[in-house]
Amino acid sequence: MKYVIGLDYGSDSARAIVVNAATGETLATAVKYYSRWQKGLYCNPAINQYRQHPLDYIEALEISVKEALAQCPAGTAENVVGIAFDTTGSTPAFTDANGTPLALLPEFAENPNAMFVLWKDHTAIKEAAEINEACQKSDVDYSAYEGGIYSSEWFWAKALHVLRQDEAVRAKAYSIVEYCEWLPALITGVNKSDDIVRSRCACGHKAMWHEKWGGLPPEEFLTSIDPVLAGFRARLFDKTETADKPVGHLSEEWAKRLGLTTNVVVAGGAFDCHMGAVGAGVTPHTFVRVIGTSTCDVMVADYEEIGDNLIKGICGQVDGSVIPGMVGLEAGQSGFGDIYAWFKRVLEFPLHNIIGQSTLIDDNLKAQLIEEAADRIIPALTVEAEKIPISESTIIATDWMNGRRTPDANQLLKGTITGLTLSSTAPRIFRALVEATAFGSKAIVDRFRNEGVRIDNVIGIGGIALKSPFVMQTLSDVLNMPIKVCRTDQACALGAAMFAATAAGVYNKVEEAQAAMSSGFADEYQPNPQNAVAYQEIYDNYLKLGQFTEKELFS
């Protein structure tokens, strides 16, 4: 028996799964939440600052792998042949010449600017606008293969923002590394920044890397935006690699720390949604939705189908970023589950601020009551929202509470809700928010189709896809398409395991690993034809509200 380990690093936690490389059977799963992140350290939601300490990642790696292996039969660890990571992104950090993230150096241990800048950090809106302006003025549009609009969520905007903000980081920084590149480098013992294997997925989608112009944008372009970027181009990289290729073997130190052998092959890293799409079984003309706090939508296309077509307003089209030998396409929404969580927090106000201060019950009972009520808010809203006929859905919302990722990135946008009356209830508002997230999804599908990309199938993965029939049925009705739901709740980690198996030589290519290791589907939602017709009219109003919001309020 040969086993592989897939590691999925999400926004809040990391999960490790141990998988039979021949069958895809998951032997064990372990999850470790980031302790510093849970405390809200290094973050400032008021300014959309979200930073994560690399120690959170290291601790999660060691604990989750060891806990997962402890659940497996004796002898499993000795037969692990490969390991692979997927992570959030773009989540970059500055490093020294050794490739060490600055936050791991004593003098930067508590400096948020020396940490990984999480994907949803939107502090670099100004910098993104300047990059877009430079691309428009340049003879070469270096954002062309990233949808033509550079986002504040991406590599260069975040790097520029931090360099401007922090003189100490600027003085010490040698290079920049993406989260999904650093973890493989860490466990293979890389001790030189120049030796880090760079991810085709991360660099192509977020750093304006493309072979057409020799890799990253040239030094002259970068320094025309701001001289503080001088020198980084030369200290970064020219080449990138797809994630099916090994980057090395587990170092002696990490083999010992994880309870594995140095024979373990470490695969290249990629973003969570891209490996998740592979884990879900992505093929050409299949639209895979990774549905969580935000969404990431991933497709693959043959070279002949894409040709020279540049798809506008998405998050990139990159050769080999999902499956080597195909063009990977990415889109997504900056907020999905986060929007429901926001509304839940709004409704929790009386729990914490009224019941929490009550003198009628003791503190222990108050805590239990608040916890129970908070846990029941979303399920109760769902039950009541499902009862509301579509014809009575008079409230319309946009899904831009965290800005808009696609189509056409604009992180300056804010959410809007209209159509409220004195009879509007919490379930009616919740239903409108669910419909808004579905409408945002339809806008993405429509953009792909309008740009000539064929979509025949939809696959949903992630917690919401498995746990919320109401959300998924609404999405199916709005898209007017069937949606299959991946059976495993760890599709991203399973995708990473497929790459681990390929890199370790168990399979010759990723498609073979997919065929052997797929988990199949747990459910399939069929659109209600009447609902689909009704939602088209509401969707038209959603578009009108969006146009007004963007033009009149946040232009």
Q: Are 227 and 233 in contact (CB under 8 A)?
A: no
* Cα dihedral 61→65→66→67 (10° resolution): 110
Q: How far apart are CA 41 and CA 35, in angstroms?
A: 9
DSSP 516: H
DSSP output for 58-100: HHHHHHHHHHHHHTSPTTTGGGEEEEEEEE-SS-EEEE-TTS-
Amino acid at 37: W
pLDDT of residue 393: 81
> Of 50, 67, 496, which is closest to residue 273 (Cα–Cα)?
496
Tokens representing 434 are: 């669910």
Q: Are 294 and 334 in contact (CB under 8 A)?
A: yes
Element holding 439 (H helix, E strand): helix 426-450
Could you tell me the sign of the dihedral formed by the alpha carbons of 98, 101, 104, 107, in that order? Answer: positive
Element holding 317 (H helix, E strand): strand 317-319
> Of 124, 123, 110, 118, which is closest to residue 57 (Cα–Cα)?
118
Averaged in consecutive runs of 10 residues, what is the pLDDT profile of the chain (555 residues)? 96 96 97 97 95 98 98 97 96 98 98 97 96 97 94 96 98 98 98 97 97 96 98 96 98 98 98 96 95 93 91 94 96 94 96 93 94 97 97 93 92 94 96 98 96 94 93 98 94 97 98 96 96 97 97 89
pLDDT of residue 292: 87
Per-residue b or e along 152-169, where b marks 16 or more CB atoms closer than 10 Å to that residue's CB: bbbbbbbbbbbbeebeeb
Domains belonging to the chain, first-starting first, are 337-450+461-479+525-554 (3.30.420.40)
DSSP 314: S
Element holding 26 (H helix, E strand): strand 26-33
What is the pTM assigned to this prediction?
0.92
Looking at the DSSP bridge assignments, the partners of residue 49 are 44
Q: What angle do CA 331, 292, 301 make, to 5 degrees?
A: 30
pLDDT of residue 462: 87
Q: How far apart are CA 177 and CA 180, in angstroms?
A: 8
How far are the Cα atoms of 92, 444, 555 from residue 154, in angstroms, in the given order?
Answer: 8, 19, 21
The residues, any chain, with a CB within 8 Å of residue 149's CB and separated by 6 or more, are 132, 143, 313, 408, 409, 410
* Cα dihedral 102→103→109→111 (10° resolution): 90
DSSP 453: -
- Edge-to-edge strand ranges of the sheet holding 327-333: 317-319, 327-333, 295-301, 286-291, 457-461, 483-486, 521-525
pLDDT of residue 496: 98
Q: Provide the residue count of the chain.
A: 555
